[in-house]
Amino acid sequence: MGVIAVLVGLAMPVYQRYVIRAHRADAVRNLLAAAACQERLRAGNGFYDTSRCASGMDTGHYAFRIEPAGEPEALEFTVFAIPSGAAAADGCGSLSLDHAGSRGVTGPRALADCWGGR
């Protein structure tokens, strides 16, 4: 019984890191999708439309927003993924992606670690 308790004690932190990493990967995928949507709008209209492309993306682990908020003729944008719940324990903090392709994190972890090489 003691051996099982030790194994479970070792496995739980590994599993929790895996789950947090999977939620972050979903957030990165949604950020890239929102940025691609904004680029399609700009290609068709000549402007970014920050009132579009972020609805329905909230996952329960990350909330998404685009700034400047609600601007139908924006010249630039930044999409943010703000962690909540268990994802808030991730050392990456909030993730961001802007119109120029610049990626950011607010936490102490390295940018490359948080964006998974993307």
Domain-wise residue ranges, the chain: 2-115
In this predicted structure, what is the pLDDT of residue 57?
A: 83
CA 38 to chain centre: 16
3-state secondary structure of 97: strand
Tokens of 8: 């479970």
In this predicted structure, what is the pLDDT of residue 14?
A: 84
Quote the CA–CA distance of 40 and 23 in Å, as a whole number.
26
Mean pLDDT of the chain: 90
Distance from the first to the final alpha carbon of the chain:
43
pLDDT tens per residue, range 8-27: 677 778 888 888 999 999 99
DSSP states of 59-84 as a string? Answer: -SSEEEEEESTT-TTBS--EEEEEE-
The CATH code for residues 2-115 is 3.30.700
**Contact call for residues 72 and 87 (beta carbons, < 8 A):** no
Quote the CA–CA distance of 110 and 45 in Å, as a whole number.
36
